[in-house]
Structure 1
Amino acid sequence: MKQNGSIDLFHYWNRLRDGRPAPRRTEVEPADIKTLLADTFILERDTRGEAVFRLAGTRLCATYGRELKGFSFPSLWREKDRRLLARLAYGVFHAKSVVVVVFEGRTRCGKSNPFELLLLPLEGGVESPRAIGIVTPGERPFWLGADPITDALIESVRVVDPDCEPMFLKNRPAVTVPPLAPSQKTLSESADSLRGGRRIRHLVVLPGGLDE
């Protein structure tokens, strides 16, 4: 994950789950992620077993130029990719996997912009699986939200097991760096090594040298 929106939502989800496969959907408090809500969505499984939007943020709906509630999640993608996205959503619902998709969104007018999608499982029971996700643009050009995204070219897909990939769970461990200032011990050792020398202006000349 590279986008701040994805990273922030992942860490919030990970804190809520607290070692479980997924947090309960009732544990998600919109106020806790209020800065992310405009790009966030909730998926549910309909009677046909398909992933559909239960809720979608205002900015996300503007990005696609329509209200997404009730629409099929795979329908946002080109025909040849819809089966893949349906399988990925199924894995999030039933295997509690985490999915990251990097894609290029394109408009009818030929404009394009990079996006990152993160999809996270929620525990809603066997009969009512849920998922929470976010679509974060890599850039925010002036036309985004006015010229709707109508096509998506997938660049990469990653299915993540957060329990097996600690890089998704923790910050990188601190790296020990030697101090820039010398320690008192170092100063004392340096002073001892200079004893017995004679000073000539700013130099200290120590006894010794090459044998003839």
Structure 2
Amino acid sequence: MSDDPGKENDRTYEAGPSQNRGKLLRLADYEQPIRPGSILGEIRSYWEGLRQGRAIPDRADIDPHGIRRVLDYTFILERIAPGAARFRLAGRHLIDLMGMEVRGMPLCALFNTTSRGRLSDVLESVFRGPQITEITLQSPASYGRPALEGRMTLLPLRSDLGDVTRALGCLAAEGQIGANPRRFDLLADRQFPVIPGARVLEPSPSYISFAEPPAPWTGPSAPQCEPTTPEARRARFRLIRNPRTPA
């Protein structure tokens, strides 16, 4: 034993050649890669387990502890209008993709404008069917943004009032996020019935109807078109004399 306790402590913590002294370990090297198929499969199995003989589970049945392994990729939607829904809850993965808190934002904020029409049709079919949908996504590469590929699933839920206005969703994207926000193109979608063997309701723009059709004309006669020739337009004018002006 050395007479100098400081030297003894130095020898105690000194790493030898066999201990790879100076080697840095990165946690990212030990993280499991994202596998969208397995993540979507787990959330689908969880949703199926909540049914317990029912066609559609309730929103109140969702327990975060039951999906803790895929919680970062999970979200809950609320239908706010035909073909439109907003995030009620969202996991960390979606926040990383957008670079901000997404609670309260519409689902279409994750999509490029060219895909929002189809997304609206697909979303409405989930609530109107009700039925399950799976969506294939792609975010093209651009400056500071590597290409991303991902998948999304939407599973209908009943609200506390008993209507199908909620959905359990899951989105998993593969690749480096890069500069955010990241938005996706909708490449393909598939629909599945909630009851095996039932008819699938294909997404259609005909579901979207924000206004009632105009009422038919009930007057004595249909409105006449405006005159098109100068002579016809002049014939509709008449001279009005101002009584204060001398004749």
2:169 to 129, 133, 140: 133
2:152 to 102, 110, 117: 117
Q: Distance in 2 between matches of 1:43 and 1:104?
A: 21
Report how far residue 24 of structure 1 moved. 0.4
Question: CA distance change for structure 1 residues 8 and 71 in 2, over 3 Å: closer, same or farther?
Answer: same
Question: CA distance change for structure 1 residues 108 and 149 in 2, over 3 Å: closer, same or farther?
Answer: farther
Answering whether residue 128 of structure 2 is matched by residue 88 of structure 1, we say no
The two structures, once aligned, show a CA RMSD in angstroms of 2.5
Contact 2:77–2:85 (CA under 8 A) maintained in structure 1:
yes
Q: Distance in 2 between matches of 1:92 and 1:154?
A: 16
Report how far residue 94 of structure 1 moved. 2.7
Question: CA distance change for structure 1 residues 80 and 33 in 2, over 3 Å: closer, same or farther?
Answer: same
Report how far residue 53 of structure 1 moved. 0.7
Return structure 1 stretches of 4+ with deviation > 4 angstroms. none
**Where does the alignment leave 5 or more consecutive residues of structure 1 unmatched?**
167-212
Larger-Rg structure: 2
Q: Distance in 1 between matches of 2:104 and 2:50?
A: 26
Question: CA distance change for structure 1 residues 65 and 107 in 2, over 3 Å: closer, same or farther?
Answer: farther
Report how far residue 66 of structure 1 moved. 1.8
TM-score, normalised relative to structure 1: 0.68
Structure 2 counterpart of 1:159: 191
Q: Distance in 2 between matches of 1:67 and 1:106?
A: 23
Answering whether residue 70 of structure 2 is matched by residue 36 of structure 1, we say yes
Contact 2:133–2:192 (CA under 8 A) maintained in structure 1:
yes
Q: Distance in 1 between matches of 2:88 and 2:121?
A: 18
Structure 2 counterpart of 1:10: 44
Structure 2 counterpart of 1:210: none
Q: Distance in 1 between matches of 2:90 and 2:139?
A: 18
**Where does the alignment leave 5 or more consecutive residues of structure 2 unmatched?**
1-34, 199-247
Report how far residue 126 of structure 1 moved. 5.5
Q: Distance in 2 between matches of 1:112 and 1:98?
A: 27
Structure 2 counterpart of 1:102: 136
Report how far residue 131 of structure 1 moved. 0.4
